[in-house]
Structure formats: structure tokens, C-alpha cells
A and B are shown apart, each in its own frame.
Chain A
Amino acid sequence: MDDIIRNPEGDNESEPQDKAIISRRKFLIGSAAVGSAALFGNCKTASAAKEFSGWPDRFGCLTDLTMCVGCRSCEKACNEANNMPEPDVPFDSASVFEQKRRPTAKALTVVNQYKNPKDENSFIYRKIQCNHCNEPACATACPVHAYEKTPEGAVLYDPEKCFGCRYCMVACPFYAPAYDYESALEPRIFKCVLCHDRIKAGGVPACAEACPVGAVTFGKREELIKVARKRITDKPDRYIDHIYGEYEAGGTSWMYISGVPFEQLDFPVDLPKKALVEETKGFLGAVPVVFAVWPALFGMIYTALRHRDEIEKGKSQSHEREEEKK
């Protein structure tokens, strides 16, 4: 057998000298199998790189933090609309304000109280719930596709698909998803659903409907931005010039305007303007490259080194033969 690296298709008659070592042909068949598996993998991961600029006409809410009076009517309405369990502390009690709360498996929205930095005697209230991102990090993170951004604006979660890895909670920049750690058999994520069924039936989210002072405005996201912009322009003393959620983490369906900077109300403010899905696009984009290049590269190295071994073996054998002749 001569020592040329041959075209695999033409390499039909070759039998390896040493049966214990894998022949190139067998190797190439093996790597072709790996390669086809790679192609299959490519199609799947490549779909991660699609552009998505957000559903048109999606709905959202605008919370005006200067108007909220901390009555917790929204918490009560949310609890009833979503058939949640009775709260530990009644909804008319202000004692909950003693500590900072967050949405949990038992409460999809909560209101927290902050001292007004402008006026020591008054309070600012902040309502927290899922912000329904335009391109949600939770949906990006979910390995089983349990999250979906609906054309109406809501980010919905399907417990039937979820296997409880909680990577969505790692990814969510707003700390919105809550997990039922108490359940052994059916643990699941709980989060605001933007009252999706009510919206589809032409209604308004329960919390927005319940708000006695109109602090939560429901509408098309584009319209809400105009409303917010107008309020800020009309009363520049009352508001800071920032619509939270217009651009944060790629923009959210739930937005906020406030009289004090958002970091003073514990809003995460160090978020990128682009959607978080962009952060891993580059990595996932490299996956097909690895699948394509690695077999070729390492296959080449393997073949080249085997080739060198064979040459050396040939040399030493002919050397031995010469010595024998002498």
C-alpha cells in the first residue's frame, strides 16, 4: 500500500496493514456520519438567529408611579382574577409595606412602599409584576420552549412543558418569575399573564381595571409611549424624563413613569438596551461553524499524523533491511 492520502470514494480496495488501527476509510465513514448529524444540528440552532422586532399592535400597561396611592386594590383584583390562594395578610392591611416584597408563587403582583426622597412625609409606591418583554429573556433561556410571547403582548408560560430547570429565573432581568419550591410533584413557575384571556375577550387586565386612581393605563404599547411622553412633556416638574421599559432589555410591554430616578425604587437600571437574546446569539451562531470545521480540522490532523507514522515506519523498515544486507 503506497502512502498517498487518497480520495475516500476511490479508496475501495484498501485493507489496512495493521487491522488493529482504524483505516482511513472507516474513519471517513465515521466522520461522515458525525457530519450529517452536525448538519441536522445546524438547522435547529440556526433558527436561534432570526430577527424579531416585536409584534405590531401589541398591548401593554403604563404604571404612573406618581399617581399610585398604595391601596393594593390591584393585588386583590389580581388574586381574584387568577384564582390565587388567600393571602397571609389581608389586602387592606398596610403592614406588608414594612418589608420589600416581590412576586411569588402566591401573588403575581405586589406593591412596595418607598420614602419619597423629594418629600420625607410622603411615600412612593411601586407595583411589580412581569414586564412582558418584547423579546423575553425567559423565553430565550427556556430549553423546552415553555414560554411564548403572544401577538397581544403577554408572555405566557406553559406548565405542561416545564421541567423545572429555573433557567428563566436566572435570565429574567426583572426577577419576575416565581417558583413553587414547596411542591414536590408539580412545581411550576408563577408569573403575571397580563390577563391574556381578558384582553382577548376585549377586556382590560384586572389590576388596571381595579385601580381607583388610574395609575395603571392599559392600551396598545405604541399609544402608551405617546401617553407617557405627553405626560412628561406637560408636567416636566412632576416626572423625570425617562419611560422605563421603552428600551430596557429591548423594551417591555409594561412601562413606568416616575417622579424620582428609577434606581431609587430598586428598578434594575444597568440593563442593556438591546434584548438579552442578543447576548447569546453570537455564541449560538458559532455552533454550526464548530460542527463544520472541527471534523475537518481534527480529521486532517489525524490523517496527517497517521501518514507521518507510516512514512517513518516505512523508513525504519527499509533501514532494517539495509542493515540486514550488510
Chain B
Amino acid sequence: MSNGTLTTTGNFRSWFMDKLLMGMSWPEYSRTLITPFNIVAAIVLSIGIPVILIRFIYGLGAVTHASNEYPLGIILGWGLFGGVPLSATGFVMGTAYYIFGFRGYKPLVRLGILTGFLGYLFAVVYLLTDLGRPWRIYYPMIIGFGTTSVLFLIAWHVSTYLTVQLIEFSEAILEWLKSRRVYKWATMIVIGMTIAGIILSTLHQSALGAMFLLAPGKVHPLWFSSYIPHLFLSSSIYSALAMVIMVSTLIARFQRSAADNNFLGSLDRLTVGLGKGASVGIFVYFAMKLISIAHDDNWHLLFTSWGYWYLVELLGFVLLPGIVLAWGAKTGSAGIVRIGAFASVAGVILNRINVSVIAFNWQLPGHLHHIIPPWQEVAIVATIFTIHILIFRWIINRMPVVREHPDYREGH
């Protein structure tokens, strides 16, 4: 067994260089770190990390516009409400591959699971930044059971699902560490984990929308609908497909060396296939949006200033990407599908920020002032996002995610 005891320093050193420095020595490795992206990342972190420290020393009031009327801001609007639907990638790809048997999408399954796992992990990081007392994050599990609360359900589900996704992704981690015994055990429970993932995901994706059911009147009626749980769930599914397209595109562009020919060679074909699925999903969502307006008979609201903003979202970031995706899928053009996918991802983020920040408290005086975040709040978001990308890249470079590990090629 290759992961045997690492008793001697020499062994540890070679293990360290092999696993963490990707086979390079320290000087070699440090030299590879000086890239334009890393320089930008370093600048962002050097500004943002002190701001995060200020938040934990002087309280949220020092770095956000959060107020008694506006308890939620861009940190959760972007990180939790925007991040979670885009992290449905693990559940969507896992379901397609393991349950529905779309075997052709194998090169993208692990990527989907990693994107999902890190997405949830960082949704929790954003939450920890925003929570008043983050060290009490486990309280819903042990101290107080708010069983009537939708957020209680989300807390349980996100924490459980995070564990599920770690188990799903452990396949890749164990291959990286070459631990065959645990590896076998991990591959055995994958179907059970996938189905657990479906249950947990359908519930908490819709629960994030259901959170706002408690605030009728506070959310603008165009965004508030009794269908909001269904809208959140259905948009998470197509946005997950779009997210896989987006992330795989970025990897093929910027992390090419981490991918194998199997991934790169099949990417265009798979992108078109995912685009087809995403376009169906996005049109279903578009239809549901129309039904939700019709159900509440809110057509007249479309011709107000809020209505115009709503139409920007609905036509520009749902219908238009849907048409582009369908066009790309029809003509078999991966490039066109990618444009549609990027716009779909942006559209879901816009929708979640609209519901949780922009259309929330729309009727209060001075509303627009409150929803514009101060630079510190933006810096916090940018910092966490940068760390997210760095860790994602770190894993992609080391673990067999977009490439197959030679020893395990036929194993799964």
C-alpha cells in the first residue's frame, strides 16, 4: 500500500513534494506562483483580510450598511443566496451520471461535485462572516431546535449535505492519497449518497426561497410569490448545468495542464449536451416565472419602474440566455452555448440578489441608499471569493478531478 507509514523524514519529504508541490522543489514551486492572477489575488487579500479582521474586532456595523431594517446584505445575497444554487452542480451531475446513467458525462462529474462541495463550504464561510456569533454555528444542531423555522431546515441540510459532498468527493482525495482500502468503501456508498444529495438539495434549494415566504409585503410582489420555493429549485437546476459549463470552460482556458485529453477532447461535445439540458431547464423556469405573475395577477406591476427592472432580469437574464443556449445546442456550437451559460449564471446571481437585497424593503424610504454596499462589504465578498478560487485551483492542480488517475482508470 502506497499510503503506508510515513515514518522517516525522507519519506515525508518526498510525499510532501509529490502531493503538495506537485513534484517540484520549493524554489521551483515558488517561482511558478508569480503569475498575474496571483498578484491580483494577493492585492485583494491584503485589502480584504484586514477588513474581515475589523469586522471581528469592531462588529458588523463597522464594515457593512446592515441596519435594523436591512439585516441582510450583499455578503449573504451573493455568498449564500447566490452561491448555493450555483453549487447544485454536485447534485445535478451526480444524479445525471449515477442515477440516470448519462455515462458520457463522466469527465465532468467530479468537477461538478468539487464545484458543489466548495460552493457549499464557502456559502458557510460567508455565513460565518455574517453571523453575529459565528462560534455558535452548531447551535441549531444541539442547543435550540427551531423546528418551525425554514432556516433550521437549511442549517441541518446544508451541514448534512456538506458531509455528503465530502464523502462523494473523497473518491478523488483518496486516489490522490492512494488509499485503496478506504477508496473501495467510498465508491460503494456513492449511490446512497447521491440520493441523499437529491433529497437534501431539492429541499434546501427551495427552502432558501421559502425563507422569504415569511416576509410578505417586504419583498416586492413581483419577486414575492407563493411559488418562490419552486422558482428557487428550478433555477438552481439549470444554473448548475450552466455553472459546470462555465467552470469547465475556465479550466480548459486557464488550468489546461491539470486536465487530461479525455476531458479536453470531449469538452465541446459535452458542453453542447449540457447546454441542451440547461436550455430546457431555463425555459421551464421562464414559464414558471410567468405563471407566478399570472397567479398573483401582477401584470400591471410590470409597467412600473420596479417592473422594468424585473423585465431586465426576466428577459435579459432568463429568456435571452435561454434562446442563446437553445441556439447553441441546436447548431452544435459549444462557443454559443458557453455565452448562454455565462449569462445564465449571472442571471441566477442577479435573481437572488434581487430577492434578498434589492427588492427587499422596496417600499421603505431611502431604500436605494441602503442597498448600495460600502466598499468594505464588497472587499469582504471579493476576499472570500478569491480564497474560494485559490483553493479550487489548488485542488484541481493536485487531485484527479479533470483528469483520471492512471492507477484508477478503470476503477469507477
Contacts and interface: CB of A to CB of B under 8 A. Distances in A.
Interface in A71-123: 102-104
Contacts of A143: 140, 144, 146, 149, 151-152, 154-155
Contact of B190 (A22, A145, A295, A299): A22
Nearest to B364: A175
A49 to B, nearest CB: 9
Given A47-B147, A144-B139, A268-B217, A295 B61 contact: no
B68 interface: yes
B98 A175 contact: no
A180 B144 CA distance: 21
B150 A284 contact: yes
Contact of B214 (A178, A270, A276, A295): A276
B25 interface: no
Given A163-B136, A309-B101, A104 B68 contact: yes
Contacts of A280: 148, 150, 210, 213-214
A137 to B, nearest CB: 6
Interface centre among A33, A140, A180, A284 (most CB of B within 10 A): A284
Contacts of A22: 187-188, 190-191
Contacts of B148: 47-48, 139-140, 277, 280, 284
B198 interface: yes
A141 B136 contact: no
A89 to B, nearest CB: 18
B34 interface: no
A33 B218 CA distance: 41
A44 B145 contact: yes
B410 interface: yes
Interface stretch (B200-208, B237-245, B299-307, B324-332): B200-208
Interface stretch (B52-60, B171-179, B258-266): B52-60
Interface stretch (A194-202, A238-246, A286-294): A286-294
A271 interface: yes
Contacts of B211: 167, 170
Interface string A263-281: 0000010111000110110
Contacts of A186: 133
A188 B153 CA distance: 22
Interface stretch (A24-32, A59-67, A218-226): A24-32
A188 B99 contact: no
A146 B144 contact: yes
Nearest to A32: B192
B137 interface: yes
A169 B147 contact: no
Interface in B254-313: none
B112 interface: no
B132 A290 contact: no
Contacts of B57: 184
B61 A166 contact: no
Nearest to A279: B213
A294 B155 contact: no
Given A144-B143, A181-B59, A26 B199 contact: no
Nearest to B149: A143
B399 interface: no
A305 B214 contact: no
A22 B404 CA distance: 20
Interface in B393-412: 410-412
B66 interface: yes
B188 A144 contact: no
A26 B155 CA distance: 29
Nearest to A276: B214
B131 interface: yes
B143 A161 contact: yes
Contacts of A102: 68-69
B36 interface: no
B140 A48 contact: no
Interface in B365-402: none
Nearest to B229: A283
A181 B68 CA distance: 9
Nearest to B361: A175
B79 to A, nearest CB: 14
Contacts of A169: 68, 71
B367 to A, nearest CB: 13
Given A170-B215, A187-B60, A295-B199, A20 B410 contact: yes
A20 B412 CA distance: 6
A150 to B, nearest CB: 16
B174 to A, nearest CB: 15
Nearest to B189: A30
B147 to A, nearest CB: 5
A181 B214 contact: no
A31 B197 CA distance: 12
A278 to B, nearest CB: 10
A142 B134 CA distance: 15
A278 B193 CA distance: 33
A141 B147 contact: no
B139 to A, nearest CB: 5
Contacts of A309: 101
Nearest to A167: B151
A47 B147 CA distance: 7
Contacts of B213: 279-280, 283
Interface centre among B64, B139, B145 (most CB of A within 10 A): B139
12 contacts: A104-B68, A140-B214, A142-B146, A173-B215, A181-B64, A182-B58, A182-B62, A184-B57, A279-B214, A283-B150, A294-B202, A298-B95
**What 8 pairs across the A-B complex have the smallest Cβ distances?**
A164-B132, A30-B192, A181-B61, A166-B71, A144-B144, A163-B136, A145-B144, A187-B132
Interface of A: 20, 22, 26-27, 29-31, 33-34, 37-38, 41, 44-45, 47-48, 102-104, 137, 139-146, 161-167, 169-171, 173, 175, 177-188, 268, 270-272, 276-277, 279-280, 283-284, 287, 290-291, 294-295, 298-299, 301-302, 305-306, 309
